[in-house]
Amino acid sequence: MKFYNREMEINYLKTYCQLEPNSILFVYGPKSSGKTTVMLRVIEELSKRDDIIFFYYDLRRYATPTKEEFLEIFFKKGEKKYLLNTLEIDLKIFKFGIEENYDFNNIKLNDVFDKIYESIKAVIRDGKKPVLIIDELQKLKNIYFNGGKSLLNELFNLFVHLTKVRHLCNVICLTSDTLFIQEIYKNSTLEKAAEYYLIDWLSKEDVESILKDEGFTEKEIKYAAKFISLPYEISQLVNNKKVGISVEESIKRWINIEKDKIRYTIRENLDKKEEILKILSKFKDNIKIKNDDIEDELFGTLKILIENEILFYDVINGIIKPSSLTKWFAINNLLKM
């Protein structure tokens, strides 16, 4: 699918990459809202200037890594302190460089950080700006180094040092895990050292404009714009039309699938059924509610709905809503049963 209607987000992130490093940026939003696509476009456009070196790691392409796998993902052996990632043939991105004969066995976390630091300093010595981007950073949560040190917690300390303290390297972390964002937001290490940027649903006007450009009829556009909100859904709608599935049938299927997912979550948590339905009923007449609208005793149940990507929790703005517009219609269909 063509790239549409994220110019505001692209311009923000392009500008951020070029600013003097002063904070960690967490880019968050509902699943499939386009965070990675936007970030890759930023890398593609800025890489043409040849004065920015991007260290980009998409942890979704890997199984949840072990300590050893983390080292293999983040480092590449070679003569230079930063080396082109030849596995990413479509992007000019780099990995941290490490000596050919370097032994990863029994490596200490401080040694790892020293190597990262050396790579970043090498970029700066070459007169270029380093930018470190990690997609779905939360996948590193359960990695511990010798002495039981949490890799993720220590990485946050390193990121603060690289940005706020020494102003050496911009650090951008992407995630759709809003409970992870909540953990970050409460982390005292990151207080006044982190910023947050939401990449959210497409607006109804953007959806209509995209579908018009893709050749949909006025009737199809009017119908679809009531139900869809994510770039992924538009892509699927375009593909479905090519194979002869109507807009109405596509959306009907999606809502039914989402409704079945919600029912499955309820069945997996039968002891919480009444609480789940109580929370979902708050969306009967509202697409979004305030965090304060959820009673304290229901927060544990709310986490179940967030973890199963039924609801999206915008911690920074104190808003809770379905993870997509089709999910909202699925919730309301379920409540009518």
Using one digit for the tens of pLDDT, what is the confidence trace for 24-55? 999 999 999 999 999 999 999 999 888 999 99
Distance CA 211, CA 229 (A): 12
Neighbours of 7 (CB within 10 A): 11
* Per-residue model confidence as pLDDT tens digits over 292-324: 999 999 999 999 999 999 999 999 999 999 999
| Fold agreement (7-198, 204-335) | no
186 — pLDDT class (breaks 50, 70, 90): confident
The predicted model gives 129-153 an average pLDDT of: 92
Pick the CATH number of 7-198 from 3.40.50.720, 3.40.640.10, 3.40.50.300, 3.50.50.60: 3.40.50.300
DSSP assignment letter at 20:
P
Could you give the CA distance from residue 96 to residue 75 in angstroms, rounded to a whole number? 5
pLDDT over threshold 60, residue 261: yes
- pLDDT-above-90 percentage for the chain: 84
- What type of residue sits at position 311? L
């940026």: which residue's tokens? 25
Whole-number Å distance between alpha carbons of 337 and 334: 5
**Within 10 Å of residue 286's Cβ, how many Cβ atoms?**
12
Mean pLDDT of 275-292: 97
- Per domain, the residue ranges of the chain are 7-198, 204-335
Better-scored residue on pLDDT, 87 or 253: 253
Q: What is the pLDDT of residues 53-109, one digit of tens each?
A: 999 999 998 888 888 899 999 999 999 999 999 888 788 999 999 999 888 887 889
- Under a CB-based contact definition with an 8 Å cutoff, are residues 130 and 120 in contact? yes
**Per-residue model confidence (pLDDT) at position 165:** 97
What backbone torsions phi and psi does residue 106 show, to the nearest 5 degrees?
A: 60, 25
State the pLDDT confidence band at 3, using cuts at 50, 70 and 90.
low
CATH 3.40.50.720 fits 204-335, yes or no: no
Give pLDDT, residue 92: 93
DSSP strand pairing (94-98 vs 82-84) = antiparallel
Which amino acid type is present at position 245?
I
